Amino acid sequence: EISSPEGFRDKAILELLFSTGLRVSELVSLNRDQVNLERKEFGVIGKGRRSRVVFVSDTAGAWVGRYLKSREDCWKPMFIRYSGKTPDADDKTGESRRLSARSVQRSVEKYVKKARLPVKITPHGLRHSFATDLLHSGADLRAIQELLGHKNVSTTQIYTHITNPQLREIHTKFHRK
């Protein structure tokens, strides 16, 4: 429901998660000045303090841009909560309003229920969907490793189990009968 500030924010979050493959911790730590919506890219420091460049799709960039324009505050966090206690008077940056990872998880659960999806999807599940979508479209496993910020390609290979039907197709088509 994008007519509410929360719904608008959630739409931007869902688009950004699927577009980038961000970890939920990376998403909630984002600051407004960190994301370059003109270039549709930004840097993050991920797990193990590894830095990587993240690319944003046109659709996700448009939703994030619209969400940020709708905000009337000048707070630093990219995504803020709209409920709960009011920010501290001393908090000029809005840090006390930063959205938590758990809030994002609850939000994704809420939309999965609303959409009546027959599977459990989490923010990490959207990360898997990002990787799987790239694999299905023919992206190289090494490139996906870089996009996900994995240290070892073996971690990225976990995402390949979903493409087994493609392997069967290739086997049937190309293996001598």
Return the percentage of the chain with pLDDT > 90, whole number: 46
Mean pLDDT value of segment 51-64: 93
Element (H, E) at 8: helix 5-20
Residues marked as catalytic: 23, 47, 124, 127, 150, 159
What pLDDT, in 10s, does the model give residues 120-176? 889 998 988 898 888 888 888 888 888 888 888 887 877 766 556 666 777 777 876
Which CA distances in Å does 92 have to 30, 69, 75, 106, 172? 17, 19, 7, 27, 62
Q: Which residues contact 12 (CB under 8 A, 6 or more apart)?
A: 60, 63, 64, 66, 67, 79
User: Is 85 a residue whose pLDDT tops 80?
Assistant: no
What pLDDT, in 10s, does the model give residues 21-50? 999 999 999 999 999 999 999 999 988 888
Q: Which two tokens stand for residue 29?
A: 């730590």
Which class for 128: exposed (0-12), middle (13-18), buried (19 or more C-beta within 10 A)? Answer: middle
Bridge partner residues of 42 (DSSP) = 54
What is the pLDDT at residue 163?
Answer: 55
Give the residue among 62, 71, 51 at the shortest CA–CA distance from 6: 71
Given a contact cutoff of 8 angstroms between Cβ atoms, the answer to whether 27 and 10 are in contact is no
What is the pLDDT at residue 48?
Answer: 82
